[in-house]
Amino acid sequence: MDNMTPMINAVTRITFVLMAGLLMGWALHHESRSITLGLTIGLVAGLASFRYLAVKVRRVTEAAVSNKGKNFSLGFVTRICLALLVVMFSVKVGQFSLEATIAGLFIPQLLAIPTGIFLSKKNKL
């Protein structure tokens, strides 16, 4: 898969659909409000981290192709700091489920695997 843009866009759309469903669940199901809010804030941060990683991977590949001697990184520290910021916000506010927030951080990255498989199969047919 040479072009990652369709996969990134598909994961973004799926994540937005999940967030819309979670916000609807927050409005309609009062007993699970902390879980739905935690998953939603985790999904927002996870999606931001996923898209940031995609930008960094694109820059790394451009640097590798152009044979520049420039140092590059994948922004690991920035993504960890974003995750820690969201977790600290979840703990400080108290209306968010910590477990759901942490789970939401990983969902966009995990969605990339089946989405990439589906899109690669679809393009080969």
| 39 SS3 class | helix
- How close are the terminal C-alpha atoms of the chain, in Å? 14
Q: Which amino acid is at 5?
A: T
Tens-of-pLDDT digits for all 125 residues of the chain? 567 889 999 999 999 999 999 999 999 998 999 999 999 999 999 999 999 999 998 888 888 888 776 777 788 999 999 999 999 999 999 889 999 999 999 999 999 999 999 988 888 53
CA dihedral 38, 39, 45, 50 (to 10 degrees): 160
The whole-model pTM stands at: 0.88
DSSP one-letter code for 122: H
And the tokens for 123?
A: 């393009």
For the chain, counts of helices (H) and of strands (E):
4, 0
Biggest CA-to-CA distance, the chain: 56
And the tokens for 6?
A: 């369709």
Q: Where are the alpha helices (DSSP H) in 1-125?
A: 5-28, 33-65, 76-93, 98-124
Domain ranges of the chain: 5-124
